[in-house]
């Protein structure tokens, strides 16, 4: 009889110990979860954003491009140009994403004839402008980290800057 009481008491103690251990582990897991949510969900993104603002303010601010003091777009997102006097970003048939601001040099060269006819700017001048943009992008990408590309917004802004008489009737503005 004494042995049975001892076994029941031992069993009861084991259950209490197991229950206590489970609760302890559960509390620890919840604490770890809360701490990780705060660290990884709040602190890390805030620190990363602040670091980006301090080290790369233009890029972390969206790479916003201004023209005559007005924000007209981003170097990172394609802009829509309604006039045939401008180079055009890729159509959705040529790109999986219509927000890509870059086109291949071949796509840009294919547009030279149309832009030249609309603006009366010599095709060789337009080709030179495209080549300068390609070279500038190579330098920006440390000469070898990215394929050749043309940033449509940059080229169109350069056209407006170099040929204000051709583009004086047009207004560059943010479509939003």
Residue found under tokens 């294919």 = 110
**Cβ–Cβ under 8 Å, residues 103 and 95:** no
In a domain, 86, yes or no: yes
Domain identity same for 80 and 113: yes
Flag whether 70 is in a domain. yes
Q: pLDDT in tens for each of the 176 residues of the chain?
A: 566 666 666 677 777 778 888 999 999 999 999 999 999 999 999 999 999 999 988 878 888 888 788 887 887 777 778 888 999 887 655 655 667 788 899 999 999 999 999 999 999 999 999 999 988 877 777 666 678 889 898 899 999 989 988 887 555 544 44
pTM of the model: 0.62
Q: What is the b/e burial string over 67-103, where b = at least 16 CB atoms within 10 angstroms of the residue's CB?
A: beeeebbbbbebbebeeebbbbbbeeeeeeeeebbbb
Q: What's the domain range around 2?
A: 1-61
Same domain membership, residue 67 and residue 46: no
Number of domains in the chain: 2
- Is 154 inside any structural domain? yes
Of 61, 78, 101, which one is at a domain's C-terminal end?
61
Residue 78 and residue 141 in one domain: yes
- Asked if 149 and 136 count as a contact pair (C-beta separation under 8 A), the reply is no
């Amino acid at each position: 009889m004494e042995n049975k009481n001892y076994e029941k008491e031992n069993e009861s103690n084991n259950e209490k110990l197991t229950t206590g251990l489970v609760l302890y582990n559960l509390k620890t897991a919840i604490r770890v979860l809360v701490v990780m949510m705060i660290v990884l969900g709040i602190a890390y993104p805030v620190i990363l954003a602040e670091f980006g603002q301090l080290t790369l303010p233009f890029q972390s601010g969206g790479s916003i491009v201004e023209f005559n003091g007005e924000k007209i777009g981003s170097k990172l997102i394609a802009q829509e140009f309604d006039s045939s006097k401008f180079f055009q970003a890729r159509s959705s048939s040529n790109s999986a994403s219509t927000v890509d601001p870059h086109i291949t040099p071949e796509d840009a060269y294919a547009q030279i004839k149309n832009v030249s006819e609309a603006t009366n700017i010599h095709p060789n001048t337009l080709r030179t402008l495209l080549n300068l943009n390609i070279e500038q992008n190579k330098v920006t990408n440390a000469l070898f980290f990215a394929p050749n590309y043309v940033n449509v917004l940059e080229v169109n802004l350069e056209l407006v800057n170099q040929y204000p008489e051709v583009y004086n009737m047009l207004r560059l503005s943010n479509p939003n």
